Structures are given as C-alpha cells and as structure tokens.
Amino acid sequence: MESVRFLKVRFDLIDLETACDLIAGRAREMAPFSYVATPNAQCIVRFNGGKAPAADAAWNDAWLSTNDSGPAELLARVLFGLELGRVTGADLTAALLARRIPATTPITILGGTEEMERRLRERYGLTTIRRMDPAMGLLNNPAEIERSARFIIDNPAPYIFLVVGTPQAEIVAQRVVQLGGGKGVGLCVGSSLNFLTGLAGRAPEWSRKLGLEWLYRLAASPRTHARRVFVQSAPLIWYALRARLRGQPT
C-alpha cells in the first residue's frame, strides 16, 4: 500500500471502498488486533508541536492511517502537489455499518453512552454489543488506559470502535498491540457513532465535499468550536508554510 508523510504524519493513499474492503477482510479473519487511525488537523498540529511523543508513536504504529482533514488535503495539494485523499472516520464508520457489518456481527465499543448503544441496536439491528465507558481524563490516567486495553483484549470482536477522542483512542489501541492477545480491527474514529445515531449533528454534505466542515461548525456554534479551530487546528497553516519554505513536506 502506497503512503506518504505530510508534516510528519503518515497517510495511506487509499479510497473509502478500498479501506472498507481491507478492514472487512481482516475483521472476517479475526486476525491479531490492529488498528486504524484517522488523523485530523488537530492531530497534525499536536504531532508537530512535539509535546506528545506517546501520541506520535501511537499514530505511527497504526496498521492503516487515513486523512480526516479537508484543510490538510488542500494544503498538501497546493503547496506540495501531494494528493492525500480523504477518508474520514465518520465516512468510514458509516460505510462499514451500512455495507460490511451484518446485524449478527459482535462489536466492541470503548466510549460512548448507553443511549448511543441503544440507538445503534435500534438503527442497525446489532444484536451483540459490548461497551465500556472509561473514566474521564483517560489521556493522563495510565491505569485507566491499561484497564481499557484489557477490556478490548477480553472482549474480542471483528470490529472494535474506540470513540474516546484522539490521541486517547490511538494510545489505548497501541497498548492492546503491545500487550498481545487482542483480536479484530480497532477503529479510532472520533465522534462518528454519535453522528450516525443522531446524538451529534454532522455538517451537510456540500461542506464536507469542499473540506469546509470546520467552517460550517464554527459558524453554527462559534463558542463551542472557536478554540478547536483557532487554537488547536489553525497552526496547521503555519506548519505547512514553514515546510514549504524548507521545500520539504515532511
């Protein structure tokens, strides 16, 4: 599989259907646990800030890594002629549940709520869901990371959704790999299950196609998203321009 690095982060050059095929194939085999990362603009900024080496290693160790950022896709193309493509966690989850995961397939979920679980059962007819909701502050709680990893190992399933945010999800997934004994494919896919169950509203399709989902969310809820856009994600532009001045996208 071809991949590139953009601003230190690995992106596998793969489209949505191919990604689903690969994941579904590995899930059917119940192969040793591996995980999928979907880095967004915040991930790239965090990676380049050099303040979270544990998160950096967890993203690097993912079996599959796809781009979840419209701005990153645009900057890579305009400044370096790189085509990262875009396979978002939300699109990946929606496609898998709609076309690849039969109702009788067991799934394991780390995170979410009882209401989310209820709606998943109702909407997709899922019959076997095992779910754990970790304690708050997972990122800075090694004992809870360990407990979460053990839960995944003790509850193997073809598909394991880690919806505890990034980089917590990737760090837990990496720990599962390190401990050994896990089975199935881990999907570090952010808020995707909340979108699919209607617990969170997703931006309209036109904004997603244009890579402007962030702008729609900012306009719709400026107080909620201002920090995410201007503090946690906007430095992506600076990192990309700095890389362009150096003539090196990595």
In a domain, 20, yes or no: yes
162 bridge partner residues = 110, 188
144/19 Cα distance (integer angstroms): 30
Residue 174 in this model has a pLDDT that exceeds 90:
yes
Measured distance CA(153)–CA(158) in Å, rounded: 12
Q: What angle do CA 113, 151, 143 make, to 5 degrees?
A: 95
Say if residues 216 and 207 touch (Cβ distance below 8 Å): yes
CB 42 within 8 A of CB 227: no
Asked if 155 and 130 count as a contact pair (C-beta separation under 8 A), the reply is yes
Please count the structural domains in the chain.
1
Please provide the average confidence, as pLDDT, over all residues in the chain: 87
The token duo for 87 is 């396979």
Q: Which of 16-20, 165-169, 238-242, 243-247 has the highest mean pLDDT?
A: 16-20
**Mean of the pLDDT values across residues 213-219?**
54
Residue 199 lies in a domain: no
Residue 78: inside a domain, yes or no? yes
Supply the range of the domain harboring residue 7: 3-193+205-244
According to the model, what pLDDT value does residue 55 have?
Answer: 77
pLDDT at 89 over 60: yes
**Choice between 6 and 212, residue whose per-residue pLDDT is larger:** 6
**What tokens were used for 11?**
């992106």
Gap between the Cα atoms of 37 and 177, Å rounded: 14
Is residue 200 situated within a structural domain? no
The predicted-structure confidence for 2-48, as pLDDT tens digits, reads as follows: 999 999 999 999 999 999 999 999 999 999 999 999 999 988 998 88
Residue range 48-60, pLDDT digits in tens = 886 677 778 898 8
Residue 152 has pLDDT above 70, yes or no: yes
Q: Structure tokens of 115?
A: 């209401």
pLDDT at 191: 83
Identify the weakest region by mean pLDDT among 72-81, 147-156, 170-179, 202-211: 202-211
Is residue 249 situated within a structural domain?
A: no
Mean of the pLDDT values across residues 159-183?
Answer: 95
Angle between helices 70-80 and 213-220 (to 10 degrees): 140
